[in-house]
Structure 1
Amino acid sequence: MKNKTFATWLTFLGGPLGLHRFYLRGLGDLAGWLLPIPTALGLYGIERVQRLGQDDQWSWLLIPLLGFTIAGCALTAIVYGLMTPEKWNARFNPGAAPDAPPGRTHWFTVVGIAASLLVGTAVLMASLAFSFQRYFEYQIEEARKISQ
């Protein structure tokens, strides 16, 4: 029986590594195996910034991948947490009764939804701000080169 509260927290905390996909769909889930790729690329972008500085053009392309992956997993955690018990059990516990306990929402589920909302929104906005700031700074530098 797949527990909705556990899946919500697993998606929020381990989603960028695909752990929630393995829990809900098994080790044969292709998306679960592909999720760590943008996570790793984003972490590589952070490493490039630390090593090469903020003027590295690849870093402002790679870092948002991590942010968007985290934000997407936070959104998925919210969707899982808000799913009705009937829909949850029909999708992930097909042999169970529609109102079986693993699909019910508890306070710990609500806290997971709230944490996902707060962190996911903050990470998404930070990723967008970083991307656009670096992009516009790059455009200004290129315009200065052309105008000289």
Structure 2
Amino acid sequence: MTVLRPDDPALVPDAGHEAVTVTSVVPAGAEGPWDAYAETLITAAGRAVPDLRGRLVRHEVRTPADIAGETGAEGGAVPAPALAAAGGRLLHPSNGTALPGLFTAGGWSHPGGGLPHAGMSGALVAGLIVEGPEFRGSQ
């Protein structure tokens, strides 16, 4: 679960509220009940954001079926975040491949899912193309 709390006053509805985005990616093919799952997330996020439930103005539940319908991603598949734990088993594949000159970028490649990571993935591939296979990111 990710809890985002931007501190820009222009992004909040009023002085009594703040903008909070709670996101959790479920495995493709998973099944609900989605509203109950959302309630569990709101409760968990409430531990990080005091009185979250009491200040909740609105929430939206987006299911894998919603994602599949809007993006065409089979089963609503969304890349899980890459985690540097479990001996590297939770990391995404590197951007280079066994075929010279073929690189991968995006949520299913290093460094993983989410818009910032997809952008970083593209930047890493650009570095590999320009600098060669020894490129390891910014120095």
More helix by share: 1
Determine which structure has more spread, i.e. the larger CA radius of gyration.
Answer: 1
Q: Bigger relative contact order, structure 1 or 2, given CA contacts below 8 A and separation 6+?
A: 1
Structure (1 or 2) with the greater strand fraction: 2
TM, length-normalised to structure 1: 0.28
Q: TM-score, normalised by structure 2?
A: 0.29
